[in-house]
Amino acid sequence: MTYLFNQPSAFASELTEGFVAANADKVRQVTGGVVRSTRSKPGTVAVVIGGGSGHYPAFAGLVGQGLAHGAAMGNLFASPSARQIYHVARAAENGAGVLLTFGNYAGDVLHFGQACERLKAEGIPCEMVAVTDDISSANVAEIEKRRGVAGDLAVFKVASAAAEAGLSLAGVSAITRRANARTRSLGVAFSGCTLPGAGQPLFQVAKGSMALGMGIHGEPGITDTEVPRADALAELMVDRLLAELPPGISQPEGQRCALILNGLGAVKYEELFVVYRRLAQLMDEKGIEVVDPEVGEFVTSFNMAGASLTLMWLDDELETFWRAPCNTPAYRKGSVIQAEALTVEERQLSVQEAIPAASGASRQSARCLLKILDAVSQTLHANAVELGRIDAVAGDGDHGIGMVRGASAALEKAQELVRQGAGAGTLLCRAADAWSDRAGGTSGALWGVILNALGCAFGDQHAPQASRVAAAVADANAGIMHFGKAKPGDKTMVDVLVPFSETLNSQVAAGATLADAWREAAAVARQHAQDTAQLLPKMGRARPLAEKSLGTPDAGALSLAMIVGVVSEFLQLQRGGA
């Protein structure tokens, strides 16, 4: 269980505040996360890492001289939003572009991808590398679908040392991809973790059992087995990792590798050293030279009991960057010359967001949108438990909670903007950021895309006519397909959004009123949401347990159908003069 917290909802923000206060000589807080509080060399690439909170030392603890320039931090186990990542990157940028690198999770891919495009649009060169080291999460044929776990540290370390050495953005990106391609990890779990305020663990492992290959958010592993002795666990991990050597390495004998034995939160250092004793023997027996091994906690899963082994197979350049010195709050290597601290003025960054002028018609539309967001928030609150139950069949069960957080944040922001006289477009775009910030994860990213597309199409000068609304929904559909990469049949919200958009646009083109067209499209959405029960998931955390989800509809598809249904009811009431 978790013993020390105030309000569970404030846990992530309060831990960040305390972390910065304890490490002010190395980091400072900015919107969305932390960046170095020391001066970086001008004209060098900035490496920005990130992901959900709850994995300390990843990600904030790895910011500092010789390692990351900044870390974007989401809520517990939820990816940071595109807005948060963007602000961290802007604060960290040194004049030679930004490399964004993170674990390969759907929400992170979406949010970091959006932030990357925004940075590029503003003239800041940007590249992305998603870490894919977890061999248990996909086979070699689908290696691009693998999760990022403790291999994050190895890849982040190489990337940051390359940036510190003055390589160009192209050079830093290339060496980072090579490090990722040569990194493999395997983890095990003995018990789940309990988040602040929760009455039970986020996921369960049967007593006396070990989940082989379980992910750091409770994603399913390969199999459950009896907890072995320490030596047997070391042998199992080495055998599995040596069975899959990276391209270009034909045999392990004579190779050099960086080794990370990582505790996931509740396994003590003493236990890890017992395991490492046997690991060192095995590596020596197989003729593998271990370079600067690391034993400890580097990428955790809050208070989960478990451990992972990571091997990064080295060449001369990778070894140079792996050995390079660094000095961060949670990870130190070698000796570095202390960097100059930023001045007080340089540490204080403020961003003022003015409210654009809006027409009377647009302000009236904004008030209507506020009522819709209120109704959406109430509906999601009422259905959160059921959405979570459906999501837990093959996922991690947090969809309902995430949707409630996002809708509540969007509603709060909309209330503030209506009081300030904002138009419909501004309200939707900033509500999109609020939803994305608070919800995190894949659903937060996708609803941020939807609301932002609607806001951009509406603008602040015109009342949203039927044709404009239909076109905006089509834009949202295109944005989801672009960023999310899902297509119809993958068992995602796309299976609802595509037919909803097509029906709405065809009805409006045929001359139907917005209320009538939306009603027809909402009915189509409800049917397609139920039809996802017969599909097998091909993306996201539900993919490894695809067969288990057969017969259960997709939670994201259901929540989308639910929301468009709420909008339909509002439009019918408006037409009736209620």
**Is residue 84 a contact partner of residue 433, using CB atoms and an 8 Å limit?**
no
Task: Classify residue 421 by its DSSP letter.
Answer: T
The residues with which 35 forms a beta bridge, in sequence order, are: 28, 70
**Which ranges of 211-359 does DSSP label H, i.e. alpha helix?**
230-242, 269-285, 316-323, 344-347
Classify 143 as helix, strand or coil. Answer: helix
The span from the CA of 285 to the CA of 287, in Å, is: 6
Residues 6 or more apart from 450 whose CB is under 8 A from it? 432, 476, 479, 480
Q: Does residue 152 contact residue 183 with C-beta atoms inside 8 Å? A: no
**∠ at Cα 69 (65, 73), nearest 5°?**
125
The whole-angstrom separation of Cα 350 and Cα 572 is: 43
H/E segment holding residue 400: helix 399-419
User: Cα–Cα distance between 358 and 447 in angstroms, integer?
Assistant: 24
DSSP-assigned beta bridge partners for residue 310: 185, 260
How far is it, in rounded angstroms, from Cα 416 to Cα 564? 24
Q: How many CA atoms lie less than 13 Å away from 400 in the CB half-sphere?
A: 16
The active-site residue out of 55, 87, 217, 399 is: 217
CB 429 within 8 A of CB 358: no
Q: Would you tell me how many other CB atoms lie within 10 Å of the CB of residue 157?
A: 29
Residue 482 annotated among the catalytic residues of the structure: no
Cβ distance 80 to 73 under 8 Å?
yes
Rounded to 10°, the helix 466-484/106-121 angle is 110
Alpha carbon separation from 26 to 30, 61, 115, 269 (Å, rounded): 13, 10, 25, 25
CA distance 384 to 214: 26
DSSP state of 140: G
Question: Do 36 and 27 meet the contact criterion of CB atoms below 8 Å apart?
Answer: yes
Distance CA 211, CA 322 (A): 30
220: tokens are 């399913």
Calculate the alpha carbon distances from 442 to 50, 103, 352, 531 in Å: 15, 13, 28, 21
Kindly list the catalytic residues: 217
